[in-house]
Amino acid sequence: MLKQLQQEFSDSLNQTNTRVEARLANNALSPDESMQIYQNNYLLSLSEALSATYPTVQKLVGEDYFKFVAKSFILQHGHNQGDLNLFGHGFNQFLQQQEALAQLPYLADIAQLDWLIEQTAGQALPSQYFTVEILQSIPTEQLGDVVLHLAPHQSLLASQYPVFAIYQMVQQDQVEAIELDEQDFVLFSKQPNFEVQLEQISSVSYEFLSHCQQQRPLGELPQHCLAELEPLLGEAIQQQRLSHFSFASERGESHDATL
């Protein structure tokens, strides 16, 4: 039987035998069956994409519940973008709306942490960094107008929960008591080996780097950041957290503040 089918298929390629077409036509799926297969594949592929993007969330809620909530998210939001890597944006807010997850108030921030790891991993490493020499080349009277740019291979997260400790606990498959009233500030940095490094930073470092990420001039820094500007700049330069600088006035903005 198999040999006969193979021969018929071979003949059909040369248009010498039409029996195989008739046989396949008789076994064809109905439109409803074809649509069901498509829908199942659609849900499966998007569920797998969410699972790959949010592994920490999946470990915290369990695989079965994750599949359930992922399906709910997919059915509600769908996917209308060509890039599958962008699918899943807003999943953290969706989780926050689930009453069943109210006992995990930090889960939305963990989801955002997972998302930032995924997005940071896709960024390109900069070809240059902001250096001490570049800083010294800027006239003192223009420093207030300077905009420092956070290097594009980095991201920031602020949370009212100790998400870094929770993430580390999940990574190590350990269960420990954690005080949930501790804030966390996390810096994500893509590495040359394509991994993403997570680092806890101070609140003032987060404020400074967030200021840079928003591309606001140094002259608009809060006073407590200005008071620590020298060590903040030194650390940012040493750790290669800044890529370059520009002047706010070059964008047609006026800033009279000076350092």
The whole model's pTM is what? 0.81
- pLDDT category of residue 36 using cuts at 50, 70 and 90: low
Half-sphere exposure in the Cβ direction for 213 (13 Å, CA): 15
Q: CA–CA separation, 76 vs 93, rounded Å?
A: 13
User: CB neighbours (10 Å) of residue 166?
Assistant: 23
Position 197 pLDDT exceeds 90: yes
Q: CA–CA separation, 254 vs 259, rounded Å?
A: 15
Of 31-45, 63-77, 98-112, the range with the lowest mean pLDDT is 31-45
User: CB neighbours (10 Å) of residue 182?
Assistant: 13
CA of 100: how far to CAs of 55, 71, 95, 105, in Å? 19, 15, 9, 11
Give the tens place of pLDDT for each residue, 134-155: 999 999 999 999 999 999 999 9
Task: Indicate where the chain has its CATH 3.90.930 domain(s).
Answer: 125-259
Q: Which range scores top for mean pLDDT: 22-36, 163-177, 206-220?
A: 206-220
Position 255 pLDDT exceeds 80: no
125-259 sits in which CATH class?
alpha beta
